[in-house]
Amino acid sequence: MVAEVEAMYADTRSETGFARMSPAVRAAMGKVERHRLVPDSQRGAAYRNHPLPIGSGQTISQPYIVALSTDLLNLKGGEAVLDVGTGSGYQAAVLAEIASRVCSIEIIPALGEAARKRLEELGYGNIEVRIGDGYQGWPEKAPFDAIVVTAAAPQVPPALVAQLKPGGRMVIPVGGSGDIQYLKLLVKRADGGYDEKRVLPVRFVPLVPGR
């Protein structure tokens, strides 16, 4: 799987600016036990470089996208990161191999509770999972050094921008379910605004809003 991800990095370098995974991300991708974060029926496909269904109409993201999103955050270690859309817990686990603290939020209770249990079994004491509305983030734990969103929003949620530290980075897929979606990198400015870069076209499940 790691070799397949590296090959995709090489193929997309002109769009992403990354010819290969950083050493920290490559180590995390090699260490996280993806087969333990997917339903039993999907275990045989756990190390293929593509998304997999995890129930409730949701998916575990393609390993390449998880690696790229993590590299785009430019983590050095010691950061507090918000993961919006826990899903299976895979993105949170990869982040937790590098960052010191990961706060992960999931709106679907069954998915969030299952991910919490699996992550605890895997020994990730630096991940906290909450059931809630990802559009609103986790204000009690803010500000964050970095934010990654693992489902597509029609536009960037203002609450997430507000919870990002100045100089912090956010990686988020933006676009409606019928539109072309783009993975975007946002860097927050000192004045509270942000600069954004369109990285590459993607296809994500929609970010479910709270009722």
User: Cα separation of 59 and 56, whole Å?
Assistant: 9
Of 59, 70, 78, nearest to 27 (Cα)?
70
- Using CA atoms, how far residue 93 sits from 28, 120, 179, 187, 209, in Å, is 8, 10, 30, 23, 24
What positions carry a catalytic annotation?
61
**Rounded-to-5 percentages of helix, strand, coil across the chain:** 35, 30, 35
User: Cα separation of 136 and 195, whole Å?
Assistant: 21
Q: Which residue has the tokens 């993961």?
A: 83
The tokens describing 61, both together, are 């993201």
User: Cα separation of 73 and 148, whole Å?
Assistant: 8
Q: What number of other Cβ atoms are within 10 A of residue 185's Cβ? A: 20
Helix ranges restricted to H, the chain: 2-11, 13-16, 23-31, 63-73, 90-96, 109-121, 158-162
